[in-house]
Amino acid sequence: MNHFFRNTLVALATVALLGGAAAQVKERTLKFAFQNQTGHPQAQGAQKFADLVAEKSGKKISVKLFPGGTLGGDLQTVSALQGGTVEITVLNAGILSSQVKEFAAYDLPFLFNSPQEADAVTDGAFGKKLLAKLDEKNLHGLGYWDLGFRNLTNSKRPVAKAEDIAGLKIRVIQSPIYIDLFNTLGANATPMPFPELYSALDQKAVDGQENPNTVIASSKFAEVQKYLTQTRHIYNPQALIISKKAWDGMSAEEKKIIEDSAAEATKFQREVSRAAADGALEQLKKAGMTVTELPPAELAKLRDKVKPVIDKYSATVGEAAVKELQAEVAKVRK
């Protein structure tokens, strides 16, 4: 009899445990909004993340994708995350400087020489420290994706030397460092949300823009831009973030599903993005764009011209944070 009761109790305890585990993952839908179109490496990473979350949660947690800025520009989306009306986004990490000033350090011109340098810094102590600061802003950081090096396009003329940028009206992201950077190079910097960019280029409201090759290709800018210059002026790590409101409402098990899916999707997204960058350049050439590689002497001129911008934003970001970042880069280079 005792034996029977013991077995019954064990069975009941097992059922209770399993039931408890199941109860730890609730049915929910998370809205994931981002700026690039379906097919872009950013969208591929988002799809991978959604697939992983579905698989790991037994299809209880569904991630619904909103590509192409359908829910608004980056700044609107960040506000929506803080308010809890959108749960997840991925965006240029530098845009988060409006929340945590140190994020502007990622946008310092000519900071990284390679994506691998950027990975080492963002995955290391510096990158983690910045993500942790987002929690007090009603956001929670999950990691960093790759957007690649930004390059310059325009519809007026080839930019073959530093002076050729002068007078061009260039759309930039809504971040002070980008505005100052292009104004310092002699352009007329025009901040604008990404969803408005194609029509602004088409209607000649702006002469050009700057983005990684993958964005230029997937957004079909070759239809409205003739000249592409490989300036590689800024490398964009992208921050993958979740609404703190959504995060705080999750069980430990649900948080683990999100974190594990984010880690796996990050590895996948970086590989896809870097493979796509070379392919995108060939695609743009085939689409009829004139591609210019700047000679080392002209790149050196650009670096010299933007030194005042680096000094200004080093002071804004905080000398200590910039020194820490530069020390991390130097360590990687060794």
Average pLDDT over residues 302-329: 93
Mean pLDDT, residues 210-237: 95
Q: Nearest-5° angle of CA 99, CA 135, CA 322?
A: 55
- Per-residue confidence (pLDDT) for residue 159, from 0 to 100: 97
DSSP secondary structure letter of residue 215:
H
pLDDT-derived band of residue 15, with 50, 70 and 90 as boundaries?
very low
Q: What is the mean pLDDT of the chain?
A: 93
Q: At what angle do helices 115-123 and 319-333 cross, to 10 degrees?
A: 120
Q: Structure pTM?
A: 0.83
CB atoms within 10 A of CB 218: 22
Asked if 310 and 108 touch (Cβ cutoff 8 Å), the reply is yes
Q: State which fold the 28-333 domain adopts.
A: D-Maltodextrin-Binding Protein; domain 2 (3.40.190)
pLDDT tens readout for residues 169-179: 999 998 889 99
Return the pLDDT at 316: 87
Q: What is the reported pLDDT for 234?
A: 95
Determine the average pLDDT of the residues in 208-229: 96
105-119 pLDDT, tens digit per residue, is: 999 999 999 999 999
Res. 18: pLDDT tops 60: no
Please tell me the distance from the alpha carbon of residue 212 to that of residue 209, in angstroms, as a whole number: 10
Determine the 3-state secondary structure of 42 from DSSP: helix
The Cα 104–Cα 315 span in angstroms is 11
What is the total residue count of the chain? 334
